A and B are shown apart, each in its own frame.
Chain A
Amino acid sequence: MSADFDEAELALLLVDPALWSEPSQGLADLVVAAVVAEVVAAAAAASAPAKAPVVDLHQWRNRRWLAPAGAAIGGAAAAALLTVALTPRHDDGAVSSAANPALIASLALTGTGLATGVQGSADVSVVPSGVQIRIRAPGLPRREGDEFYEGWLKSCDSTRLVPIGTFHELADATGWAGVSIDKHPIVTITRESVAGPKDVAQGSSGEVVLSGKLAPCP
């Protein structure tokens, strides 16, 4: 059996900087959010008859028939499908819910050339059905009738786009998604209008007015 280390041997072990670095304070929240989002996505994939609402960006282009109200109903139905046995709880024992979400990230949204100078913010919270994204961009003008805004979560390589809701105004709006935010860390807001009735789906117009990132892309 080995004897104890002497101080010189210990020094060789202890000099490694990796032993002394500390992770960020917020890493625990990100880990919890990542696992919970994975649990939600797995449960949704197991229970939903159709595939989860992660779509190929190219398949969505030029398909636009859902009115905002219809899309909102579709979003609610999707959220219902994503409701799973999971009941995330906070340290105080409270159950996460849409009315009592667990905030995990906040980010700034910046106006593009289509909304120069407009600033906004998004708060991302974990709820039992996935993540809730509260968007506040009071500088964007209200859209009426068949014109609206749509929120999206996007993957870093821009190949996957997840709708989070449609809105006439974004002074204080809330959307939802049932996907892992660490795989879809980009939040964008696009300008949309209702398309013709022959289209089979409503996709992104590509007219991004606001965008922000939850985390840097590799």
Chain B
Amino acid sequence: MSLVSAVDENTLAAFRQGDERAVRALYDAYGRLVFAIANRVLRDIGLAEEAVQQTFVQAWRGSVTFEQGRDPAPWLATIARRVAIDIQRREARRPTSPLDDAPPGDGSLVTHDPSADQLWSTWETRAAIEALAPDERQIVRLQHMEGYTQQEIADKLGIALGTVKSRSFRAHRSLAAKLRHVREPIGEQ
């Protein structure tokens, strides 16, 4: 099952009632995407997980005003961004170590909050990644996140170079198609 499949109206109605199973279903559908946004803002897995919890709590608090029939994804993304930025500001008020000690990408080195468009791109990109077949996702990760060449991936996974190339081609074609609509906002930034 895709992690990005939308939950149905019955699940959303049960979520409004605080039903445990509905909360879990909403988390299963959107939890990793909320986590990706929080982690994009906070660059800290522990804080991002705290933000995920707060996001779902705030989503439940606001669920009575959530319009039926709408896609909950943008609504959750907006809450996640706000919660993560609040946590980031809270952490910024805490005593800090010298900047020289901070690793690259540390939240304390970030001077501007990511825009809503940037975070929505993060959400969409993560969703597109989640929709890939596991073997394609693995190759994309090794290629882009770990920086391996296709030959190195083939050696590492013990598969033919041609297999790597075909999986990589399929994965990138799928990603390109799914992310077409986020291209313009990214280009404008």
Contact = CB atoms under 8 A, between A and B. Distances in A.
Contacts of B89: none
Contact of B145 (A17, A28, A91): A17
B186 interface: yes
Interface string B139-162: 011001100000000000000000
Contacts, number: 139
Contact of A32 (B27, B94, B184): B27
A106 B152 CA distance: 43
B113 interface: no
Given A2-B183, A14-B145, A36-B18, A31 B126 contact: no
B100 interface: no
A149 B140 CA distance: 56
A19 B31 contact: no
Interface in B45-91: 45-46, 48-49, 52-54, 56-57, 60-61, 90-91
Given A28-B31, A35-B57, A18 B36 contact: yes
Interface stretch (A4-12, A136-144, A166-174, A189-197): A4-12
Main SS at interface, chain B = helix
A180 B56 CA distance: 13
A28 B176 contact: no
Interface in A76-94: 85-91, 93
A182 B50 CA distance: 9
A11 B145 CA distance: 9
Contacts of A1: 180
Contacts of A16: 40, 122, 125
A38 B60 contact: yes
B101 interface: no
Interface residues of B, number: 51
A86 to B, nearest CB: 5
A100 to B, nearest CB: 13
Contacts of A216: 46
Interface in B152-189: 172-173, 175-177, 179-181, 183-184, 186
Contact of A30 (B32, B53, B61): B53
Interface in A149-183: 180, 182
Contacts of B61: 38
A22 to B, nearest CB: 7
A153 B40 CA distance: 32
Contacts of A69: none
In the complex, which of the residues A15, A16, A35 has the most CB atoms of chain B within 10 Å of its own CB atom?
Answer: A35
Nearest to A15: B144
A21 interface: yes
A36 B145 contact: no
A10 B176 contact: yes
A34 B31 CA distance: 14
Given A2-B183, A19-B122, A86-B18, A218 B140 contact: no
Interface of A: 1-7, 9-11, 13-24, 27-28, 30-32, 34-36, 38-39, 43, 85-91, 93, 96, 102, 126, 180, 182, 216, 218
26 contacts: A2-B181, A2-B183, A7-B172, A10-B176, A13-B125, A14-B125, A16-B125, A18-B43, A18-B122, A19-B36, A19-B129, A20-B129, A22-B32, A24-B45, A24-B49, A27-B35, A27-B49, A31-B52, A34-B53, A35-B18, A43-B18, A86-B19, A88-B18, A88-B20, A90-B21, A218-B94
Q: When A and B form their complex, which 3 residue pairs have the shortest distance between CB atoms, in order from nearest?
A: A39-B18, A88-B20, A4-B176
